[in-house]
Amino acid sequence: MKRPQQHIIETKSKKQFESLIPDTWVARELGADYGLDYLVEIFKSNNSTGQLFFVQLKGTDSEIINDTISYQLSLDNIEYWNTITLPVLLIFFSSQSKKFWGVWTNEIKENIVLKKEKQKKYTISLTSKNLISANFFVELESAFTNDLPSKINIAYQSCNPKTKLLHKCLVKYLKYFFNDVVQFENHLLPNTCLLEYKTTRAEIVEITITAKGKTHQLQPVKLLGNENFLFLPNLDSYNIPKALSECLLLFSLLNCDKNIKSAIKIIQHTIKDYTGNYLPMESLIVLTQTAIRNDKILEVNELAKTFILTNRINEFQFLNSSILILNRDKSLNKLYQDNLIFAIEKITDLYMKGMLSYNLANSFRSSSNYYLSSLNYQNARKFEPKYKNRHYWWFEYAGIFFLTGHYKIAEAFYQKSHALKADQNIPLVFGLIGDCKFFQGKFSDSMVYFDKLISQQTKPNPFAYEFILKSMIAKTLTDEKLDNLNIDQILSEKLASEGIDKNNEQLFYEAIKVNPLNGMAWFNYGVSLSLKGELESALTAFLMTACVQSWDSDAWSNSLSLALTTNKLDLFSIIYGAAYKSVGSEFVNHFAQSILDQPNLPIEIKQELIRILADMANLYDEDDDSVEQ
């Protein structure tokens, strides 16, 4: 039987590889199940150092030209190697030239550029700089640490003494800020940052940085011959020379994951005079994300203040916005707000003060601090009077009045917002104006606006279900002569309380007649009606409770149960959609539990009902586009 050529190449590569390993080391061959070929343990003076790394060996008999080898790798394998805690050295062997090339797998991952979506393979090309010499592992012994793949090799190319002096000065700063990360001219390291200095006319130095597969052209540096910083014996970490600022700033952004604290410090010390383009939004998001992951968010906050003090308003906006974007549990809301307050106090541009005040108002609104939200909406208009002509200012401010129970003012603000945007059809504002009228007890008027919104929905929309229910309820209340009454809240609450004490259905109805917006009266009235078997009237009572008290899970749950009992399946779907949007996903479990608690319902029906509830909830999550615009 003929042995496959690839097996012969693999045998050759293993024999050649093992001959390279120092005799004092141990290279343990692993089985095929591991997806790796060797676990190598480094020994010094016959004693184990505890330092280990994996080797994945690849062999080829393809022709080698100019000491360059190309090999196609599976992206799944690259991802797998980078999940391994220990370093992984990928070694290629040419049976033609008897040479080895090596690369640490994390360097492949960092430099990968995919050409199309769902790409499954990636072709790597290694050149003469990746050749493994006979002394490679001997040299590796002195340089190796288990965190070797995280180190950065700083290499440079320079053409004259002055640029070499400039690089020497840069090295001092890199050692000071990134001492635990950088090494210099160490070809064994997997990550290399190459700095190239070229001198052109009039002592202009052009600097390029090549790292992570990309080349960055920095702003030209002019050396006039009087750069004293080049000759100072000690560096001043607080006063970074302008000639080095962009280089250090870019290095910090590229490697903020290595030492986030130092990266932020460098940006703080270089930003004042910086005029380049290496602080885009995406870089600041990565910086903030890294800081949060390393519990250094306070350092990011200090950087935000530095941006303000140096009049870098755009960078401040980017950085502060990234705090908000990455603030998944809202724990950083106060930090975001404090930054805006600081910025408003320090900057002098009235337009910017107005915009930041508006952003601050929106943030306070989202955290339910309605007083400070209102104050900052007013400040926004004070600093920038043009806000009075912007529909969204009236729209957002209207929400504050609505949430604090000032429905008439909220209605006026929504109307103003609509008037400023009359040339564009925005159905949502109709629903909100209808809401304002509804909570003023003007039910017939509210129907007009609810129906305007509903008529413009071309497909079922969970966000509109609340308004559909309110329109139905408003019609019922209008028919019952409860429209546009002189509301007496105090008397209504007194009657409802007496009704509870005396278990008197008539008192609940009397409470409703003097205040149709009394949720407590409606709920208890619904209970009384359901006990009497008047299920459709009870359903209306519970729906009215839910519309007035959207937080009331029991009212929503009772409404759903009665809709099922009375076989109103279309209404059931609308109620469920409105409840899901009003109370949240926890309502699904709340109502499912009420189904499970039904003693006379067969388990198969219970399970089928709960399955339908879950499917409907998933549908509402997918269709979360709010009302059609």
Enumerate residue ranges in the chain where pLDDT < 50. Answer: 624-629
CATH number at residue 11: 3.40.1350.10
Q: Compute the distance between CA of residue 29 and CA of residue 11 in angstroms, rounded to an integer.
A: 12
Please tell me the predicted confidence (pLDDT) of residue 386. Answer: 95
Q: Is residue 381 part of a domain?
A: no
Q: Compute the distance between CA of residue 209 and CA of residue 194 in angstroms, rounded to an integer.
A: 6
β-bridge mates for residue 152, sequence order: 182, 191
Q: ∠474-478-481 over CA atoms, to 5°?
A: 145
Encoded tokens for 330: 């809202």
Q: Is residue 73 part of a domain?
A: yes
- Reference 262, options 360, 136, 178, 364; nearest CA is 178
Q: Is residue 229 part of a domain?
A: no
Q: Compute the distance between CA of residue 389 and CA of residue 410 in angstroms, rounded to an integer.
A: 17
Q: Compute the distance between CA of residue 133 and CA of residue 111 in angstroms, rounded to an integer.
A: 24
Residues contacting residue 580 through CB under 8 Å, at least 6 positions apart: 462, 587, 588, 616, 617, 620
Q: Is residue 618 part of a domain?
A: yes
Please tell me the predicted confidence (pLDDT) of residue 591. Answer: 75
What total of structural domains would you count in the chain? 2
How far is C-alpha 574 from the chain's CA centre? Answer: 32
Axis-axis angle for helices 297-309, 260-270 (nearest 10):
10
CATH number at residue 522: 1.25.40.10
Q: Is residue 407 part of a domain?
A: no
Domain C-terminal end among 146, 164, 195: 146
Domain C-terminal end among 108, 127, 146: 146
Collapse the DSSP code of 570 into the 3-class scheme (helix H, G, I; strand E, B; otherwise coil) and give the result: helix
Residue type, 325: I
Q: Is residue 627 part of a domain?
A: no
Residue type, 445: D
Q: Which range of residues forms the domain containing residue 69?
A: 5-146
Q: Is residue 228 part of a domain?
A: no
Please tell me the predicted confidence (pLDDT) of residue 526. Answer: 93
- Reference 48, options 56, 39, 37; nearest CA is 39
Domain C-terminal end among 110, 129, 146: 146
Please tell me the predicted confidence (pLDDT) of residue 144. Answer: 74
Q: Is residue 352 part of a domain?
A: no
Where do runs of H (alpha helix) occur along 144-190? 161-178
How far is C-alpha 355 from the chain's CA centre? Answer: 23
Tokens 């949060």 locate to 292
Q: Compute the distance between CA of residue 420 and CA of residue 117 in angstroms, rounded to an integer.
A: 44
Q: Compute the distance between CA of residue 497 and CA of residue 491 in angstroms, rounded to an integer.
A: 10
β-bridge mates for residue 184, sequence order: 154
